[in-house]
Amino acid sequence: MAVKQLPLQLKSLQVRDFLRDVTPIITGDRPCIVFDFSQVTEIDSAGVDMLLHCMEQAMKQNGDLKLAAIPPASAVILELTRVDRLFEIFATVSEAVDSFYGFSVPDAAAGVAVARVSANGPL
């Protein structure tokens, strides 16, 4: 289980760097990933393509990718491109995490490890 903080901008340059960091996670065995959109201020076609690529890679490994805390401006882009229909989207990161195993991030100390990582590494 990994929660990955997305960068402020999901454009070509940032997408390349982000993909380099997230590839080991999405290509692992049965990845369960939440992308935290809470800091995203801009997303373009490169960002949308990256989301689709990450979902495809996770599914190839029998895993899943869910989106959380999407700001209104980013939500509009996902709706216009109809990408929102392909992902499970949650209002909060905790709700997205709960959807995987029925536990929340604060409950992780009770025996289930949840890795929270930012675009710059572990939090």
Secondary structure letter of residue 103 according to DSSP: -
- Nearest 5°: CA angle at 66, between 36 and 7? 25
User: For 2-122, CATH number?
Assistant: 3.30.750.24
Residue spans of the domains in the chain: they are 2-122
Within a 10 A sphere around the Cβ of 47, how many other Cβ atoms?
Answer: 25
- Tokens matching residue 24: 């080991």
User: In this prediction, what percent of the chain has a pLDDT beyond 70?
Assistant: 82
What digits encode the pLDDT tens for the residues 28-44?
999 999 999 999 999 99
- Tell me how far apart the 2 most distant CA atoms of the chain are, in Å: 40
Give this prediction's pTM. Answer: 0.82
* pLDDT at residue 101, as a whole number: 78
What digits encode the pLDDT tens for the residues 79-114?
999 999 999 999 999 999 999 876 545 544 434 445
Sign of the torsion angle spanned by Cα atoms 90, 94, 95, 99: positive
